[in-house]
Structure 1
Amino acid sequence: MKYVSFRDADGVAALARVEAGLAHRLVGLTAVDAAISPEALRDAEAEPVGVPVDDLRLLPVVSRPGKIFCVGLNYRAHVEESNRELPTYPVLFPKFASNLIAHGDAIVLPPESHKVDYEAELAVVIGRGGRRIARDDAFDHVLGYTICNDVTMRDFQYKTHQWTQGKAWDDATPLGPALVTPDEVDPGKLDITFRRNGVELQSSTTALMIFDVPELISTISTFTRLEPGDVILTGTPSGVGFRRDPQVFLTDGDVVEVEISGLGVLRNTVRAEA
């Protein structure tokens, strides 16, 4: 099943099940958050009358995640274009809830950065908490999958050997448009594409990830407990703007799209911060 988070006409956050392009509001569940579980999402009653998804004001599919883990250098071709050694342990860094925006929202270009880059990524949403999760049990902890554009301010990222200052800008990381439950897709066999103004700049498959979803869940949960609503961004394939010749960066007025098979298209405009 597919689910979307949205804000209704009264400004109240809500959660809906999507069927044939119509969003059926759930009764008793208003968000994907720390209180969610796969069973609660599956068994929630939905209103019989739906509204077109395209008419909704969507929100990021996860409401205020407690933890957002990002994975760097998780595709061999991206490692090669970055002139780095192949990692033997996942490269991890954080983002924060205030960084997230929804499908259809504007990615804000801050005046301080002049090298704002795109990164198409598969996102994993945790639905059942756990610590030291075994690889074989990892999928039992997944609520679903969605799409992310891991927007990166490259001139800030490389100020130090740590990446947070280039990755964690507010109002700059789209997450959505929908949450898709694990029975609908195989996260290891998904085509992933990025387009800027209709021009394809990234094209790959999640089958080429160095560390797959079970490995990431197992590795991260070794040192911290994963909780419902936490998000893992699984890394981007090759073709990022910073590594192109000539380089390609986001500019005011751009329309960017991340498409992942079975999950949909995450579309956002780009605007300079006023």
Structure 2
Amino acid sequence: MENFIKLGRKIVAVARNYRKHAAELNNPVPEEPMIFLKPTSSYIQEGEAIRIPPGCNRLFHEVELGIVIGKRGSNIPYNHYLDYVYGYILALDMTARDLTEVGLPWNISKGFDTACPVSKLITKSALGDPHSARLWLKVDGIMKQDGNTSDMVHNIPKLISYISQFMTLEPGDVILTGTPDGIGPVIANQNITCGINDVLQMSFNVE
């Protein structure tokens, strides 16, 4: 499953899954998970650059924990969620914020090429408790986001169970679990470095 980028058929992302993040955007916290999709063509890994899409003047960073699905499942019971988790990744949900704020669908604002930088696979044992993981992000060495997955509104079993009611999860699919507060803009020639616990960090240049 190291090749989840090639194997997976979809990226299922969760919006407003941290209360402070919803508050910083003046958005209500949804009672059920708020779901959107990113195309797998938006994946990049270290060594590739984040490219600002045409017409975007406000490109924002959002650091997230991603879940890599290990086997096919639908209507997955809440208590059996871990059977379907192969491992985890660190991810960025790059967002053309000015395009999300004009009432348009999020397909372009969150699905453009290079909109989903991801790390290599993190095993379940290496991460430990996914509900107690520190997520942090720096822009040019300055801390911008510093949160913990313990603050998620909807936890991982809830997300897997809920999403699988509507769409079958398949091996290599990725679920992005939402971002903590502190999101903000990046511009060309800046560098984003982010990490999860002391397990892994990654770095991307913006161009």
For 2:66 and 2:38, the matched residues in 1 are separated by: 13
Letter in structure 1 aligned against 2:100: Q
Which residue number in structure 2 is paired with residue 70 of structure 1? 13
Shift of 1:166: 1.0
Q: Deviations over 1:64-93 (max 9, x none)?
A: 520110100000111111112221101110
- Of 181-190 and 231-240, more deviation after overlay is shown by 181-190
Partner of 1:123, secondary structure, is strand
User: In the alignment, which of 114, 120, 128 is matched to residue 71 of structure 2?
Assistant: 128
**Conservation of the 8 A alpha-carbon contact between 2:8 and 2:170:** no
Whose helix proportion is higher, 1 or 2? 2
Structure 2 distance, partners of 1:187, 1:255, is 26
The 8 Å contact of residues 75 and 208 in structure 1, kept in 2 or not, is answered as yes
Distance in 2 (alpha carbons) for counterparts of 1:150 and 1:202: 13
Q: Which has the higher contact order (CA 8 A, sep 6+)?
A: 2
Q: Distance in 1 between matches of 2:148 and 2:118?
A: 19
| Among 184, 195, 207, the residue aligned to 1:259 | 195
Given the two structures, how large is their TM-score scaled by the length of structure 2?
Answer: 0.95
Q: Does 1:186 align with 2:122?
A: no
1:58 maps to which residue? Answer: none
Aligned length: 206
Check whether the contact 2:64–2:176 (CA below 8 A) recurs between aligned residues.
yes
Give the corresponding residue for 1:175.
Answer: 118
Amino acid in the other structure paired with 2:38: K
Gaps of 5+ in 2: none
Bigger CA drift: 164-173 or 187-196?
Answer: 164-173
Distance apart, 1:237 and its partner CA: 0.5
Q: How much does 1:110 deviate? A: 2.2
- Cα deviation, residue 269, structure 1: 0.5
Amino acid at match of 1:234: T
Distance 2:198 2:68 in 1: 16
Aligned to 1:217: 160
Helix, strand or coil for the counterpart of 1:79?
helix
> In structure 2, what is the Cα distance between the partners aligned to 1:141 and 1:263?
22
Q: CA deviation at 1:161?
A: 5.5
Deviation at 1:163, TM superposition (A): 2.1
Q: Is the 8 A contact 2:7 2:171 kept in 1?
A: no
Is 1:107 the counterpart of 2:43? The answer is: no
Tell me which amino acid in the other structure corresponds to 2:87. Answer: G
| Structure of higher CA gyration radius | 1
Within-5 A mapping of 1:239-250: 239-241=182-184, 249-250=185-186
Question: Does structure 1 retain, via aligned residues, the 8 Å contact 2:70–2:170?
Answer: yes
Question: For each residue in 1:25-78, what CA deviation from the matched residue of structure 2 results, as whole angstroms up to 9, or x when unmatched?
Answer: xxxxxx33xxxxxxxxxxxxxxxxxxxxxxxxxxxxx22520110100000111
Q: Which runs of 5+ in 1 are unaligned?
A: 4-14, 16-30, 33-61, 242-248
Q: CA deviation at 1:162?
A: 3.2
Stretch deviating more after TM superposition (77-86 or 142-151): 77-86
- Secondary structure of 1:108's counterpart equals coil
1 CA distance for matches of 2:63 and 2:197? 13
**What RMSD, in angstroms, separates the aligned Cα atoms of the two structures?**
1.4
Cα 1:111–1:97 shift into 2, 3 Å: same
Letter in 1 for 2:121: L
**What are the equivalent positions in structure 2 for 1:145-156 lying under 5 Å apart?**
145-156=88-99
